[in-house]
Structure 1
Amino acid sequence: MAQISLSEVFSHKHNPYPFYAQLREQGPLSRFNWMGSDMWLLTSYDNAAVILKDPRFTLDRQKVEPQKGGQKPVDEKAAPYIPLAWSKHLLNTDPPDHTRLRTLVSKAFTPRMIEQLRPRIQQLMDELLAAVQHQGEMDLVADIAVPLPIAVISELLGIPVEDRKPFRAWTQIIVQSQGAAPGQTTSALDAEKKFIRYIKTLIASKSVHPDNDLTSRLVQAEEQGDSLSEDELISMIFLLITAGHETTVNLIGNGMLALLEHPEQMQLLREDASLLPGAVEELLRYTSPVTLSAPRWATEDVSLYGQLIRKGEMVRYALLAANADPQQFSDPEVLNILRQENQHLAFGKGIHFCLGAPLARLEGQIAIGTLLRRFPHLRLTCDPAQLAWKEGGSLRNLVALPVAF
């Protein structure tokens, strides 16, 4: 059985296939060290599916370590804040709490509402391209992949234009701090404080002056006399910003890099725009915007694949490894936008399937389709091996993607 460090998992972002293939060859379950504790990593598709459905593994850390869950009221003068931010949303709860929260949130986040955003997302994309058209070159991450999703989720939540820049900075700092040593989280704690203060002000404003936005709908959400508490609202809005923004940045950036590195696939897509939905699914599988799944904890001692996972130990699965499992996908390390059977795990599976998947897919289709249509000669201006990837964190994100057109 392999014994690896978490930093090793996060260090293979440009070409992770060989690393995960090696782990799979050594066994279905690898142990890694995180802040001095043993954690477990699954690298095959079937194994990941087992964890997603096994009731012996919980998303709620409070069930195995109540003293570490952070489930307590916010103290504006105290730190750390970070446990609160992801203690009461859809990624950290099990049924029946998860069922209750999802029911309340889904009433304000319907596929019909997302589809109505199509003209506005296209307009935002056209404006971004108009701003760089005269330059002949751009950083596709900074000029397109970042501002498009943050504009969409900000408008969806009713966040003013002037507040988008700090919002982006706060979420970036917090997300990238995951897995960092305690002494390296000072900036994340500061960002978390500012985030919570801002969201509390926003919630108070929307409570008094509701508008036609998602924050107002979440404030007003009610099902059989139930509603979201303030802590749940803060946590849910943080999740929507992160899941609806940071991961979509990576879908657009990583997806365009994959197409630029596979010009024959890019040409297929240029010649037939009807291939866009399938192409986005393949890019989600092939590029994996997220490196690791949300953590789960064993609620009892569990014997799995010949190894003993003790109660309270963390288990995660590597999304790109699962999505590149040759037992599930034919030629998994080949980008094939014509792939027919593509039940990837980029959005999870089962009751925890990502609520924002329709929005991410829509933004990816519009962004990538518009780029290929408007810039027929789009090309990288550096060797792909020279591209830098952000260190740490569970996201697989490029620092920059310089292109010319």
Structure 2
Amino acid sequence: MTASTVVGGLDLAQERRIVTAIPGPRSSEILAVKEQEVARSVGHTLPIVAEAAGGGVLVDVDGNSFIDLGSGIAVTGVGNANPRVVRAVTEQVQRFTHTAFTVVPYEGYIEVARKLNRLVPGDFPKRTALFNSGAEAVENAVKIARHATGRQAVVAFEHSFHGRTNLTMALTAKSSPYKQGFGPFAPEVYRVQGSYPYRDGGLSGPEAARRAIAQIENQLGAQSVAAIIIEPIQGEGGFIVPAEGFLATLHEWTSSNGIVFIADEIQSGFARTGSWFAVDHEGFAPDLVTMAKGIAGGLPLSAVTGRAELMDASQVGGLGGTYGGNPIACAAALATLESYEQDGLLERARRIGAILTERLTALAQADPRIGEVRGRGAMIAVELVDPASTAPDADLTARVVRFAHENGVILLACGSHGNVIRFLPPLTIDDHLLNEGIDIVAQGLARS
């Protein structure tokens, strides 16, 4: 018997089910309207329109049921329409929807801050400020670092992605589609090489860090740098896990030079890697951590949490915003954090990671076009390459992703060259759905 998940009164069968061509007639009809009404530059990955989602599936308006291996780009880690989140949001909507925390505070915001101060690594006093999006969190982390240090330069890394606002575009490495035609960008942003073990020619983590440090010192001098910002696992850049010791060596250098270390955990945070945060695997505590995506079960919320002396350095009114820490989003966040803790989702992420790694490694042993399997927990990727040269193979990647979409699996690509397939299933996905999704990817590889 097929398992089912109740979502908003709907009983969603946890199965892959294709009943029309993709896209189906109703999706095609709605997307035709989208072309007329929505800006062309707001694209979409799958040619379908969502009707319902939960557990490990998403159902479109034509009745097709897709295995979800993307979870809204790592947002719905606790599953879509998680019952805890639905209850909390419904209760909050009935009480009030908004006051602006900077006008009239409310307990939900304060409680989210309290919980994040406890969860973010670091045995030191912390403070938290809440915002709306990942890019907004990054912008505010930079503001905090610059004000606290009195310096201006910010250093980011190759293959990074930090957002699409003006400052975060400057921090983001990839030009197309994120930056092309949108300049000029914010000044005093610099980029250096990071750690990319698959393509670093055997360079160790500390060696890669020393290379980056030398670049910073030669270009800027440590005394000019307010902060470095880095994703502990680079997301859009290709799920690149730095070599052991890379981040810790960088952190030692920043600590010695009064430079703020910002860990961008927007995609890698909240149980995704099998720990609360990806940096938990690295053995040190960043000065500031930016968070979003998996924080609130799909509602827009982001945060910066960090050392109290940094967070408190700027003037009153220097941080905030009309919608930042909206009460409905805060209610969703508290329920989401409760789900991670009480529903065993950190352990579930590790189980998902074990299945993905075992299955994908077996595929790689039989198919030399899989250059590397990498990641942690439920944040795993395969890099597809030309076997002879290891050159990125974006065309193969696109064919496999398209095959998955046509056969009922939501699958996302990433990587600076578009040649990485990433696996980001909701942590509520069943083993049978996860394995079936991997089977479809394997079929796509075999037919490509």
Normalising by structure 2, what TM-score? 0.25
Normalising by structure 1, what TM-score? 0.27
> Higher helix fraction: Structure 1 or Structure 2?
1
> Higher strand fraction: Structure 1 or Structure 2?
2
Higher relative contact order (CA 8 A, sep 6+): 1
